[in-house]
Amino acid sequence: MKTSKIYLEHANISARDIEQAQHFFKTAFPHFKKRGGGNETREWIHFGDDVTYVAITKVENIAGQYKKDYAKTGINHIGFVVDNVDDIAIRLLAENYKRSYPKQIEKFRIRDYFLDADGNEYEFVEYLSDKNEEKNSYQ
C-alpha cells in the first residue's frame, strides 16, 4: 500500500488590495514570488514557492472582519510552520503589521499571530523539537 504525504498546498483568501496582501506575505516570506495570475472574472494571483502558495482574489467590498472571539463560522486563522518566528515578527513589525495575540513561548514551540491589512489572522509557529509527540504536546 502506498503511503501518502498530506500537506496544505494553498489557502485562498479575498483581499481588497492584492498588492497589499502580496506585501504581507512577501514580508513574512521573502522567497515567495508570483506564480501566476489572471483577471477572467476577478483579478487574482498565486503567490508562494514551488510547494506552498496563497491564492489571493481581489474583491470590491469585504464583509468579513477579524473575529477575536472565534464565535462565528469561517476560517479563524491560517498557520505556517517556519524556521524562525522572530525573524518574521521583526519584518512584519517593521512594516507596521500588528500582532493579534501575544507571542507564545512554550517548551517545544514558539507561536506568533499577525493580522494582514484586511484583518485576516496568520499564525507562525517554530517547532523546537523534531519529535512529533513533543511538537504536538497539548500540555
The CATH code of the domain that includes 102 is 3.10.180.10
Domain count, the chain: 1
pLDDT at 75: 79
- Distant-in-sequence, close-in-space partners of 138: CB < 8 Å, separation ≥ 6: none
Instruction: For residue 100, tell me if it sits in a domain.
Output: yes
Instruction: For residue 41, tell me if it sits in a domain.
Output: yes
Residue 67 DSSP label: -
Instruction: For residue 110, tell me if it sits in a domain.
Output: yes
Q: Which residues of the chain have pLDDT under 70?
A: 1-3, 61-74
> Interior CA angle at 54 toward 50 and 59, to 5°?
145
pLDDT at 61: 67
pLDDT at 63: 59
Q: Which long-range contacts (CB under 8 A, 24 or more apart) does 103-110 make?
A: 107/134, 107/137, 108/134, 108/135, 108/137, 109/135, 110/85, 110/86
For β-strands 78-81 and 53-58, DSSP reports them as unpaired
pLDDT at 62: 54
Instruction: For residue 69, tell me if it sits in a domain.
Output: no
Find the domain containing 24 and state its range.
10-60+77-135
pLDDT at 126: 96
Instruction: For residue 40, tell me if it sits in a domain.
Output: yes
Task: Collapse the DSSP code of 12 into the 3-class scheme (helix H, G, I; strand E, B; otherwise coil) and give the result.
Answer: strand
Q: 23-62 as b/e, with b when 16 or more CB fall inside 10 Å?
A: ebbbbbbeebeeeeeeeeeeebbbbbeeeebbbbbbbeee
Instruction: For residue 43, tell me if it sits in a domain.
Output: yes
**pTM attached to this predicted model:** 0.85
pLDDT at 40: 80
Question: Tens digit of pLDDT for each residue in 44-84?
Answer: 999 999 999 999 999 876 555 544 555 566 678 999 999 99
Instruction: For residue 65, tell me if it sits in a domain.
Output: no
Alpha helices in the chain (DSSP H): 18-28, 85-94, 132-135
